[in-house]
Chains A and B, each alone.
Chain A
């Protein structure tokens, strides 16, 4: 895992690693990737991926309103909000 890749995945995950921990984390990630690299030894030609242990179809619900909105509680849980909105530092598009 080169530095560039680490930087990219850190950004995609919106995480930053302390500079003093960087080498340790990179080594750990390296070790885990080696572990999961062991999968290559298994022949999976023509095998369908199993994304869920349940092989059943999704339940579809009716288009009927059923609100469980708790606006005040939702807003209260936020670090910054007013009576109506969640607030974040201003975004410039």
Chain B
């Protein structure tokens, strides 16, 4: 029996607005509990929501980037249900008339580029957080997150396997970060997805019963959760059972999905238009403003890097594909003209370091200015490439500028002939056997002399000059 998988993803993107969707409380992550909570977010009696325009602008940017239809008039609806972290007993969301309809996103698959259609995207407020294990017998509620703007993006059920799902999420991540719609920080919950998974016999046109795996927040878990679920559903069907339509959670410790505790009654959300908010209208001039200030996307950056900075296609692609890396590059090129050297360092040493620490460049202590200065110092021969590497290490751990490090450690490259000549003379004088060896044809010994000179100068002598003077002096 060959089975095929049908997956639809609902991505919840936390928008990077400074304040919440319906209140002017801050959205800053990591604040102490219940401090980023305004009267409205607490759902106190008598409070009323008010619309944050920036949330709309970000949602529209997303819609424009994926080629969707923007509903310039959209409305909010109430989704009614009870849960401890839902202060009003309803969530304000968009049901019938969402801000974004349709659109498409290209993903990379093993067999080339595949286009996934987007059904819709709408704005809604996030709920608070419940902590279940910290206080004996109690669940604790923190409403800091309550009211944070979310863009819920629904894909058509066109994804065929776990790898494609990851590819879709990666493409989504890149898009929302480049658009400055979200910081995409999955560990902080800025990007989460619910996966709707069903299987059917290959060739069948009817969809199988689907289950929904909720709140997966890493690329790795998306792949594992979906693969587990596919296997589980296959087992159920092959043993003659039926897949139950239910909501499941992924347990990363056990690497399995299990059903969420649900009540006997299915939830009827009783959607109706939010009477405390009127229809939100985006004017034509607002739409134009958004178009005029559209951020540069990876494709455009790649082309620009090749054209303006002479980067090779491959290098341009790498730098352009990460928002933090691209932003870094864009800032650094303001301070240095050696674009190729800069890009080599970014792709080489710097990327290696970031990978090792598993951080983004904007999470490191490196600044674009400092890296630009480092490139300049190599370029103007203040330091050698080798010394630059050790300066770089210091920059990574201390965040100091290269000049500070060069100064404090006295790492300036020695380039003047006189100083180097003095050391060369000393080395030659101290190693007569090797001199003889070199002069009798053992060319490789040049390396020994270079090494000795470098040792005497703590690596600061300019290697080309050392080579030149050594050759001059040894060839007699």
Q: Judge A-B direct contact (beta carbons within 8 Å).
A: yes
Q: Could you write out 5 A-B pairs with CB less than 8 Å apart?
A: A63-B55, A69-B34, A87-B141, A91-B130, A93-B260
In angstroms, Cα B139 to Cα A86, docked, is: 8
Across-interface contacts of A70 in B (CB, < 8 A): 39
In angstroms, Cα B439 to Cα A61, docked, is: 82
B→A interface (CB under 8 Å): 17-19, 24-26, 32-39, 42, 44, 50-56, 73, 80, 82, 84, 130-132, 135, 137-143, 249, 260-261, 263, 265, 268, 270, 273, 275, 277-281
Interface string of A53-93 (1 = CB under 8 A from B): 01011111111111111110011000010101111111111
Listed from nearest, the 10 A-B pairs whose CB atoms lie closest are: A63-B54, A85-B140, A60-B53, A66-B24, A57-B281, A84-B33, A86-B141, A58-B278, A87-B138, A91-B139
Taking a contact as CB atoms closer than 8 A, the residue among B39, B44, B132, B143 that contacts A90 in the complex is B132
CB distance from B380 to the nearest CB of A (A): 44
In angstroms, Cα B141 to Cα A74, docked, is: 12
Across-interface contacts of B25 in A (CB, < 8 A): 65, 67, 69
Across-interface contacts of B260 in A (CB, < 8 A): 93
Interface of A is mostly: loop
Taking a contact as CB atoms closer than 8 A, the residue among B130, B137, B268, B281 that contacts A58 in the complex is B281
In the complex the two chains form, is A58's CB within 8 Å of B279's CB? yes
Number of A interface residues at 8 Å Cβ cutoff, please give it. Answer: 37
In the complex the two chains form, is B132's CB within 8 Å of A58's CB? no
A74-B138 contact given A52-B275, A62-B53, CB 8 Å threshold? no
In angstroms, Cα B261 to Cα A68, docked, is: 36
Whose C-beta in chain A lies nearest to the C-beta of B34?
Answer: A71
In angstroms, Cα B72 to Cα A4, docked, is: 42
In the complex the two chains form, is A68's CB within 8 Å of B280's CB? no
Whose C-beta in chain A lies nearest to the C-beta of B80?
Answer: A12
CB distance from A67 to the nearest CB of B (A): 6
Q: Does A42 contact B (CB under 8 A)?
A: no
In angstroms, Cα B134 to Cα A84, docked, is: 12
Whose C-beta in chain A lies nearest to the C-beta of B136?
Answer: A90
List which A5-23 residues lie within 8 A (CB) of chain B: 8, 11-12, 14
In angstroms, Cα B461 to Cα A80, docked, is: 71
Whose C-beta in chain A lies nearest to the C-beta of B56?
Answer: A60
In angstroms, Cα B34 to Cα A27, docked, is: 45
Across-interface contacts of B279 in A (CB, < 8 A): 57-58
CB distance from A11 to the nearest CB of B (A): 5
A65-B34 contact given A14-B82, A60-B56, CB 8 Å threshold? no
In the complex the two chains form, is A64's CB within 8 Å of B24's CB? yes
Taking a contact as CB atoms closer than 8 A, the residue among B54, B141, B261 that contacts A88 in the complex is B141
In angstroms, Cα B325 to Cα A83, docked, is: 41
In angstroms, Cα B36 to Cα A62, docked, is: 17
In the complex the two chains form, is A71's CB within 8 Å of B35's CB? yes
Across-interface contacts of A54 in B (CB, < 8 A): 278
Taking a contact as CB atoms closer than 8 A, the residue among B37, B55, B56, B80 that contacts A71 in the complex is B37
In angstroms, Cα B275 to Cα A88, docked, is: 30
In the complex the two chains form, is B138's CB within 8 Å of A69's CB? no
In angstroms, Cα B275 to Cα A52, docked, is: 6
In the complex the two chains form, is B53's CB within 8 Å of A90's CB? no
Across-interface contacts of B278 in A (CB, < 8 A): 52, 54, 56-58
In the complex the two chains form, is B50's CB within 8 Å of A61's CB? yes
In angstroms, Cα B261 to Cα A3, docked, is: 26
Across-interface contacts of A57 in B (CB, < 8 A): 73, 278-281
Whose C-beta in chain A lies nearest to the C-beta of B141?
Answer: A86
Across-interface contacts of B84 in A (CB, < 8 A): 86, 88, 91
CB distance from A92 to the nearest CB of B (A): 6
In angstroms, Cα B25 to Cα A9, docked, is: 35
In the complex the two chains form, is B34's CB within 8 Å of A85's CB? yes
In angstroms, Cα B142 to Cα A87, docked, is: 9
